[in-house]
Amino acid sequence: MRANKGIPRDLEGEGKRLKNGQSAFWRKGDVMVQVWKDKRLVQMISTIHDATIVNTGRTDRKTNMEIKKPYTVVQYNKFMKGVDRADQYLSYFSVLKKTVKWSKKVVLYLLKCVHFNAFFCVQDTKCKQTCKVQELAA
């Protein structure tokens, strides 16, 4: 969530005072805005989650305490890994700046997505084939 787009002022001020691992939230109707301090300030907006903090099952190396995160962050990390990785790979070679017409941009973006999906399928099948060979050798 961008910093200049509609975060409540009282929550914005409270977010600056948070220590690592603390969170604050604001709810109006179904919409919940939550601010959580990790290494940086993480701002989230959700209509399906609540402001619960859950254990991740991991411990911090320095303090040896359990790491706790908001449920919204845990769910985001669980379900968005593939989408974020695809966006990351597609951003390395941008063809969108080289054309002017929007129709060419759409076609080139779709071709780039097809190319990435083909690359990912080849990588996936290579891994499965090498795993099978290793299992047969053992």
Give me the mean pLDDT over the 65-78 stretch. 87
Give the residue, 14 or 132, on which the prediction is more confident. 14
* Chain Cα centroid distance, residue 12: 22
Among the ranges 1-5, 13-17, 46-50, 129-133, which has the highest mean pLDDT value? Answer: 46-50
- 37, 18 in Cβ contact below 8 A? yes
Beta bridge partners of 98: none
**Residue-level pLDDT at 88:** 78
Q: How many CB atoms lie within 10 A of CB 70?
A: 23
pLDDT, tens only, 86-124: 777 777 777 666 667 888 888 888 888 888 888 888 887
**Residue-level pLDDT at 93:** 72
